[in-house]
Amino acid sequence: MELLLSVSIGVLVASGVYLVLRARTYPVLLGVTLLSYAVNLYLFASGRLTVASAPLIDQPLATYPDPLPQALVLTAIVIGFGMTAVLVVLALRAVVETGSDHVDGEQQ
Amino acid sequence: MSHWPVVPLLLPLLAGALALLLRPQSRAARVVGIAASVALVATSGVLLTMAWDGELQVYALGEWPAPFGIVLVVDRLSAAMVALTSVVALACVLYAVAGDDARGPYFHALFQFQLLGVNGAFLTGDLFNLFVFFEILLIASYTLLMHGHGVARTRAAVQVVALNLVGSALFLIAVGALYSVTGSLNMADLARLVATLPESDVGIARASALLLLVVFALKAAALPVGFWLPRTYAAAAAPVAALFAIMTKVGIYAIARLFTLVFGADAGPLAGIAAPWVVPAGIGTIAVAAAGALAATELRKLIGWMVMASVGTALIAVGQFSVDGLAAALFYAVHSTLVGAALFLIADLVRRQRAAVGTRLDASGQVRQPALLGGMFFVGAISACSLPPFSGFAGKVMVLEATLGGDLVTASWLALLVGGLVVTLSMARAGSALFWKSGSEPSTADPAPRLAVAAVVALLAASPALVVLGGPMSGYARDMALQLTDTRGYREAVLADTPPAAHRRDYR
């Protein structure tokens, strides 16, 4: 499971970085989205991976997954989603105003 | 427990929400904006007096004790930064009320949300909460940057948003890595845990620390990741650009806080991890900013480069991680924020009176009030260029003295002095182009609104005031630095109510 998770995060980050380095706003947007997916998975994993343990503490010494990273991921998802929405609107606006989807607003 | 530490967050939050409910661009929204900013200045005064005698105020939100809940911590540094923010904000709001706030909806609401983010970043004692407040100030700043619209603003905003989204991703990776080895996000608790990390986890914590440094350098606009600043600040509306003068200080504050408290002298294997990077970054930032200032053909870009040079100066001071260095950094940051904000407002007054050429640095347009604007520009430029008799000189001397004990003394002095000379030359050239060699055709623009001039004069007056009050100010800065380097006192104050360790999850 560790291998699968780390490979997924690695592939997401690599694709995200590649797309972020493109010169058009739409690939950059997708790249940022992939990066934020990778970050969410990574944050989730920072609480350690556990299988078949209780989601809540029912008795003092039972093993249970760390609830904090889940709260962090939730916060990060909300913030990341809002920020990505802002970027979408701005990128669309830039296309309308400059007539180009180049990140520097240059023509073809 | 006194409730004052949370007021600088609640006040802008409630005022911003109220301003959202009111009709946009209405008189009532203005009143709310001004009233909230005045109240914030008063609140920050209370916080300053509370912090003055050196006692840490720890405010546990929801009464959850640290490290389980989020705490706000008011020490001398936080109180000073909140006070600085509130003063700059009041001047910006007054300037905006003179006309700029009517160019788009919801200026005052967004402005208050931006203050919420900035104050939160200065006050929080929790690393993840710092991320959240960074995002609050960023999302408000994106929208404020677009205030008034225009192609230049849209272009600048797309770049800044994309850049900061990547920065946020790096921040979260760093936070996750640090949490995975320590199991805590409270800064005081992290300071305790980082010092006793087992050998196998030190590498992860080191990577996390350096990632955090990169993120804060991005916010501060330091060299490898700082090129967004001049273009963004030049594109923003004047009161927004002036408020942004505080945003680079958030990055510098975070470097000063995290790398003295968590990764400071007591951090065991990670002690002084930022030291080899911060001073060279500062030197490089000054070099690039000086070159940019020399090449600038537009006043607002020139001021943007100058703000970047001041970031470099503050970083050289912070990078010493000594009491003298941190004290100098605080004094210089206060000075450069106030003067930088004033210069952005002056540039806007110039732009309004040179309708055809705006702030382009050529001699073809006259301003309507050359004596007033030229005089204000002269004072601001002298102070910004660190020439006597204003506060820039005192600040720069403190920084120069502070570097004497550290590494890279020669390079730091060269950067500070030659960089200062180049910026002085650029400002002198800009001043003569705008006010001396200006063409013969008189300007028909309206004279500057009185309220706007008053806001600028108030910001400029802070510069001689910092010199007159130089004794108490540098004394406060020194006490602040002593408190900042006393990480044991900080840890004990924050973790005083922590329950016994038996209830904590063990990550080893």
Q: H-type helices in B270-408, by residue range?
A: 275-295, 299-318, 323-353, 370-384, 391-403
Amino acid at A97: E
User: B500: which residues sit within 8 A by CB, 6+ positions away?
Assistant: none
Distance (Å) from the C-alpha of residue B472 to the closest C-alpha of chain A?
Answer: 42
Look at residues B268, B274, B169 and name the one whose alpha carbon lies nearest to residue B217: B274
CA–CA dist B87, B249 (Å, integer): 14
Distance (Å) from the C-alpha of residue B165 to the closest C-alpha of chain A?
Answer: 7
Is the N-terminal amide bond of A67 cis, ω within 30° of 0? no
Put simply, the answer to whether B169 touches A32 (Cβ < 8 Å) is yes
CA–CA dist B49, B62 (Å, integer): 25
For chain B, which residues make up each domain, given as ranges?
Answer: 4-494
pLDDT at residue B386, rounded to an integer: 85
Look at residues B282, B263, B283, B281 and name the one whose alpha carbon lies nearest to residue B273: B263
Reading the block at residue B217, the tokens are 């350098």
SS3 call for B369: coil
CA–CA dist B495, B258 (Å, integer): 17
In total, the C-beta contacts within 8 angstroms joining chain A to chain B are 96
Put simply, the answer to whether A103 touches B162 (Cβ < 8 Å) is yes
What is the CA angle A56-B185-A14, rounded to 5?
Answer: 90
CA–CA dist B98, B9 (Å, integer): 26
Look at residues B72, B50, B49 and name the one whose alpha carbon lies nearest to residue B60: B72
Task: Kindly give the confidence (pLDDT) of every residue in chain B, 508 residues in length, as a single tens digit, with 9 standing for 90 and above.
Answer: 689 999 999 999 999 999 999 887 788 889 999 999 999 999 999 999 988 888 888 998 888 887 888 999 999 999 999 999 999 999 999 999 887 788 888 889 999 999 999 999 999 999 999 999 999 999 999 988 888 778 888 888 888 898 999 999 999 999 999 999 988 899 999 988 888 888 888 999 999 999 999 999 999 998 888 888 988 888 888 889 999 989 999 999 999 999 999 998 888 888 888 888 999 999 999 999 999 999 988 888 999 999 999 999 999 999 988 999 999 999 999 999 999 999 999 998 888 887 767 777 776 777 778 788 888 989 999 988 888 888 888 889 999 999 988 788 899 999 999 999 999 999 998 888 888 776 666 667 777 888 888 999 999 998 888 889 888 888 999 999 999 988 888 888 888 877 665 445 555 4
Q: Which of A69-78, A95-104, B192-201, B387-396 has the lowest mean pLDDT?
A: A95-104
Reading the block at residue B460, the tokens are 């400029």
Interface predicted TM-score (ipTM) of this complex, two decimals: 0.93
Q: Are the beta carbons of B78 and B44 closer than 8 angstroms?
A: no
pLDDT at residue B112, rounded to an integer: 94
The residue among A20, A43, A96 with the most chain B CBs within 10 A of its CB, best to mutate, is A43
Q: How many CB atoms lie within 10 A of CB B398?
A: 23
Distance (Å) from the C-alpha of residue B175 to the closest C-alpha of chain A?
Answer: 8
Q: Which of A68-77, A96-105, B473-482 has the lowest mean pLDDT?
A: A96-105
User: B9: which residues sit within 8 A by CB, 6+ positions away?
Assistant: B72, B116, B119, B120, B123
Sign of the Cα torsion B58, B63, B67, B70 reads: negative
The residue among B126, B160, B161 with the most chain A CBs within 10 A of its CB, best to mutate, is B161
Reading the block at residue B219, the tokens are 């916010």
Look at residues B341, B244, B305 and name the one whose alpha carbon lies nearest to residue B429: B305
Reading the block at residue A59, the tokens are 């008795």
pLDDT at residue B502, rounded to an integer: 43
In DSSP terms, which residues pair with A102 in a beta bridge? A24
End-to-end CA distance of chain B: 35
- By CA distance, what is A105's nearest residue in B? B155
